[in-house]
Structure 1
Amino acid sequence: MTAPAASSAQPPAAAPPHVPSRNDLLESLAVIAGAQWRDFAAAAAHQGLTSMQAKLLGQLVRPLPMRELAALLGCDASNVTGIVDRLEAQGLARREADPHDRRVKRVIATPEGKETIRRVRADMHVMHSALSALDDEERAALYRLVERMRPALDV
């Protein structure tokens, strides 16, 4: 009895993975960004803030000049003045003179303001649920990719 002849047929090659275009990625990111913004606004309202008040408060990881806040928020400096006035009235932020140029006013989150924005982010149930759909390895990979993109966004 002879051994069967070896087959010369190669197993079929796996199809190359679909590589999404930049437009495909932008569309997906737009959906995520829209959901994130709606969730953020709802969580801000739960804390008694407008979405713009919470957005401004979230930018205050360090003291920022009013003009820089206006640029970050994409609004006029006079709008920032009104938002900061309301945050100050709630004890969530305060103004101080810049130590290098006393004509410039910087905005600082108070300890209560920092705790409030922490609660807003903790209250974002839609986004927390979406992120929970990822396992630890996927969340780590997503984090690395997002952090890799950040420098190009000037944030």
Structure 2
Amino acid sequence: MAPSSTPRTPDPLTTEVVELIGTVVVRYHEEYDEAAARHSLTGAQARVLALLAREPLPMRRIAERLKCEPSNVTGIVDRLAARRLVERRPDPDDRRVKLAAVTPEGRATAERLRESLHFAREPLGRLSPAERTTLRDLLRRMLGEGSGEGFGE
């Protein structure tokens, strides 16, 4: 049977869960931006630095992950490079492509930033390991990671 093209009205529990997720997202971004500012970074710069602390990436991939235009990423990377937090280097697999990569100072800054984020640590710490595992698994399932299912599927 084909799914209905008419959106159904969410039940009160679904509405409450969506609102709670929204509140978590807002609080996370507020704290993230405040923590970034303490390191003299914008929120966008901090997010790029965090991405690059995991692995060097081409500008296009950074833009995809941040859901923005590559030209925006170029400016952010330029500002981070001016502070010697990131550098551009050739991609070893395709020398026509430049990768943005953290410098040792950038990695240390990303680590200090990550350590300064306290939102949800205390509330999550009050959950048992089993509850945190369940929450993680449910969030992954909502995002379609690992189960083959995502929103609307």
Amino acid of the structure 2 residue aligned with 1:54: A
Amino acid of the structure 2 residue aligned with 1:103: R
Write out aligned runs for 1:49-64 (5 A): 49-60=41-52, 61-64=54-57
- Cα distance, 1:135 vs structure 2: 3.3
User: Which residue number corresponds to residue 99 of structure 1?
Assistant: 92
Runs of 5+ in structure 1 lacking a partner? 1-18
User: Which residue number corresponds to residue 59 of structure 2?
Assistant: 66
Worse-superposed segment, 134-143 or 70-79 = 134-143
- How far apart, in 2, do the equivalents of 1:119 and 1:138 lie? 28
Amino acid of the structure 1 residue aligned with 2:77: V
Mapped pair 1:141 → 2:146: no
Is the 1:97–1:105 contact (alpha carbons within 8 Å) kept by the matching residues of 2? Answer: yes
Amino acid of the structure 2 residue aligned with 1:88: A
Between the aligned residues of both structures, percent identity stands at: 40
> What's the C-alpha RMSD, in Å, of the aligned pairs?
2.3
Mapped pair 1:127 → 2:120: yes
User: TM-score if structure 2 supplies the norm length?
Assistant: 0.76
Three-state SS of the structure 2 residue aligned to 1:102 is strand
User: Which residue number corresponds to residue 17 of structure 2?
Assistant: 25
**Which one of the candidate residues 55, 66, 82 is aligned to 1:89?**
82
- How far apart, in 1, do the equivalents of 2:85 and 2:35 lie? 16
- Cα distance, 1:93 vs structure 2: 1.1
How many residues are paired up?
Answer: 135
Q: Which has the larger Rg?
A: 1
- How far apart, in 2, do the equivalents of 1:87 and 1:109 lie? 9
- How far apart, in 2, do the equivalents of 1:149 and 1:63 lie? 28
**Which one of the candidate residues 32, 39, 61 is aligned to 2:31?**
39
